Amino acid sequence: MRLKIKYKLTLLNLLILFFFIFLIKISFSENTGSVECGASCECFTDKNVPKTAEELVEKGLKYLSQNNQKMAVKSFKKAVSIHPDYQKAHYFLFVSYLYTKDKRSAEKEFNILNKLNPVMAKQVKKIYNY
């Protein structure tokens, strides 16, 4: 049983790493403030995100890398409470809920992400077979 848990931890870390590699390939459009993929599809289109919300997402990512999902969820939730349309925070909250097997909350976050950015939600659906 412990082997399966270690495997899942590694799998989550690989998925997060894959997402960051995906973000590295993204170019930032200065005119619109939107983020666009190399394939010309919109990814995150967050605008006017308060610095505190961005810092909370970074803090949450640090907690995820330390396998502290409870604190990561708290950070992402707080970021969402500061800026309810913050797609990146909703995305990582979704990932955190998937990891903690909270399917109901993950579905709620996915639905929010889908309303905010259907193109990104479609990509998320492909990545996570959701």
- 42 lies in which domain range? 2-128
Q: How far is CA 117 from CA 14, 34, 70, in A?
A: 24, 12, 26
Residue 30: is it exposed, middle or buried by C-beta count within 10 angstroms (0-12/13-18/19+)? exposed
In this prediction, residues 104-127 reach a mean pLDDT of 91
Q: Identify which has the larger pLDDT, 37 or 50.
A: 50
Please determine, for residue 22, whether its predicted confidence score (pLDDT) is greater than 60: no
Angle at 52 between CA 47 and CA 54, to 5 degrees: 55
| pLDDT tens digits along 62-98 | 998 898 999 999 999 999 999 999 999 999 999 999 8
Please determine, for residue 5, whether its predicted confidence score (pLDDT) is greater than 60: no
Query: How many domains does the chain contain in total?
Result: 1
Residue 51: is it exposed, middle or buried by C-beta count within 10 angstroms (0-12/13-18/19+)? exposed
CATH number at residue 82: 1.25.40.10
pLDDT range class, residue 123, cuts 50, 70, 90: confident
Please determine, for residue 2, whether its predicted confidence score (pLDDT) is greater than 80: no
The reply to whether the predicted model has a pTM over 0.85 is no
Residue 60's pLDDT is what? 92
Asked if residues 83 and 53 have their Cβ atoms less than 8 Å apart, the reply is: yes
